[in-house]
Amino acid sequence: MKYAWKILGSLMLFGLLGVFLLPPDEAAMMATGGRSPAGILPPAASPNNATEDAGPFVSQPVTPAISPAVRDLPNVPLEPVLDREINPRLSLDYLPGSFSVDPNWRDPAVPAADGNLLNTPAPILSFAGMSLANGGLGTPPDTNGDVGPNHYVQMVNVSFAIYDKSGNLLSGPHAIKQLWAGQGGICSINSAGDPVVVYDSLANRWLLSQFANNNSICLAISQTSDPTGAYYLYEFTNNAFPDYFKLGVWSNAYFMGANQSGQNVHAYDKQAMLNGQPATAIHFSKSGVGRHTFLLPADVDGGTPPPTGSPGYFYRFIDGDLFGGVDRLELFAFQPDFANPGNSTFTGPVSLPSQAFASLCNFSFSCIRQPNTNQRLDSITEWPMWRFAYRNFGTHEVLLGNHAVNVGNDQAGVRWFELRRANGGSWSIYQESTHAPDAHSRWMASMAMDGDGNIAIGYNASSTSLFPSLRYATRLATDPLNTLQTEATLQAGGGSQTGLNRWGDYSAVSVDPSDDCTFWFTG
């Protein structure tokens, strides 16, 4: 086995992008084992009881336009830095103060200090990405990106840029709405934000997206593997405002989950979009479950597709102190049928009891401490963090996820987990842990697994003695379960943020399809 790790980072005024690579270890083998069985919680323990599924609903076909080549688009003009908040956070149905955490609470999933004493490798490359003064528009930046065979594409509010793998800027920064310029429609005149870019390793295409006013979702699918070329442009009207939407690549669909009132999941006709044909969207809605309803779709890594006929997966986590029952993960399955939409199904939840966890700061949007200021930062403790990474190893399938939890005294830690399913069996929690090796808070993480089963996770770190910084940690497949290696710093912070609590709603770790072992991180 090659077991080579790379970590690459791209530095922004918003954040950083980095690449890292694990040292070779020819003796390493895939670890085996497991921890908790899959199961269905009793009906009384699920917040979805007494709700009804509605759907499937099918959109009218959307006929695409075609963009100019991205390389021919004008660059974003330099504008004064805007000290303003992009897309203020929607209020929650459960407000701060609705419950309290025991002051003596300590997260039981934090591993012992000597659990894994190996050192995470240093970055092999880091470079400057877009900045607030050159491409960005405000706070939060919503920094994310993905890597393809020859390019790295980075998106922020409300722009994107394309780099080669040495960090050289090839195109941009461009305003996202410029893709739709001259086409008419809301996507051509409004850049509302929450951008997401994914590289579809199964189709060798790029998908760029953002939302716009009038509940619109703007999706651009590259005509070829070259992200600097032309795109098929789709403008779908959503059933409600798609706040904090996230996309997932699957075999037969592009899936979307969003923070809407009630659970809403969407599937876009991938094959039609790849061919530049009129495409429909199928969605389901579940009402009566409050605002804690954002479901994050699974996103494929690697070149091996899910098993034939496999549904797309979504998940959320449930804090039992708030919703009742044990703390748990909940899995949902979406099987779209674009030829016969009425045959589409959305099922779940399948509940996987986890180790106990607690939410942060009574869900206050001001939580993470910084040096030399009373201004605290949003921990986004109520939502799953991008990405819900999927990989098919043939003998088993893997899903990776993470969310921010309360280690104790409202110190944030990253609760991460790996789910496994062998040969079409049931999903179960294979390993889980809370990354909190010292007194600093860690939050807003993203993680992925390479083709040998190694894991990388990137995140932010801050405390009263540490300016907000970018750090990352790794683990080999042969490391002890539930542990990460000693972390490394990708970019040390240079000051505290004042005036606004929005630090950044998500970041992205992805795996290079060229070697299936190089990790790219932007945050």
- 101, 409 contact by CB (below 8 A): no
Amino acid at 392: N
In a domain, 246, yes or no: yes
| 198 part of a folded domain | yes
Band (76; pLDDT cuts 50, 70, 90)? confident
Q: What are phi and psi of 24, to 5 degrees?
A: -60, 145
What mean pLDDT is predicted for residues 26-35?
28
Residue 46: pLDDT band with limits 50, 70, 90? very low
Is 518 contained in some domain?
A: yes
Task: Establish if 269 belongs to a structural domain.
Answer: yes
Which pLDDT does position 10 carry in this prediction?
A: 47
240 versus 376: the higher-pLDDT residue is 376
Q: What is d(CA 319, CA 293) in angstroms, rounded to the nearest whole number?
A: 12
Which of 297, 325, 328, 324 has the alpha carbon at shortest distance from 313?
A: 297
Q: Structural domain tally of the chain?
A: 1
Residue 159 lies in a domain: yes
Mean pLDDT score, 375-381: 97
For the residues 401-423, what does the mean pLDDT come to?
A: 98
**Is the per-residue pLDDT at 258 higher than 70?**
yes
In whole numbers, what is the pLDDT of the chain averaged over residues? 87
Which amino acid makes up residue 252? N
Q: With cut-offs at 50, 70 and 90, classify the pLDDT of residue 288.
A: low
Residue 105 in domain: no
Confidence of residue 309 (pLDDT cuts 50, 70, 90): very high
- Report d(CA 319, CA 357) in Å as an integer: 7
Domain region containing 22: 6-27+36-89+126-522
Residue 114 located in a structural domain: no
- The pLDDT value recorded for residue 302 is 98
CB-hemisphere CA count at 13 Å for 72? 7
pLDDT over threshold 70, residue 250: yes
Label residue 90 by pLDDT band (50, 70, 90).
Answer: low
- Say which CATH number the domain at 169 has: 2.130.10
Residues 6+ positions from 26 with CB-CB distance below 8 Å? 1, 3
- Percentage of the chain exceeding pLDDT 90: 72
State yes or no: pLDDT of 289 exceeds 80. no
Residue 99 maps to a domain = no
Residues 6+ apart with CB under 8 A from 72: none
Q: Taking 50 as the threshold, does the pLDDT of residue 68 lie above it?
A: yes
Residue 288 CB: number of other CB atoms within 10 A?
14
Mean pLDDT of 98-114: 85
Output the pLDDT for position 93.
57
Cis peptide bond prior to 300, omega within 30° of 0: no
Q: How confident is the model at residue 2 (pLDDT cuts 50, 70, 90)?
A: very low
Distance CA 433, CA 435 (A): 6
HSE of 435, CA atoms in CB hemisphere, 13 A: 32
> Is the per-residue pLDDT at 5 higher than 80?
no
For residues 203 and 251, the answer to whether their CB atoms sit within 8 Å is no
Per-residue model confidence (pLDDT) at position 323: 82
Ranges 78-87, 194-203, 447-456, 486-495: which has the least confidence: 78-87
pLDDT of 24 reads 41
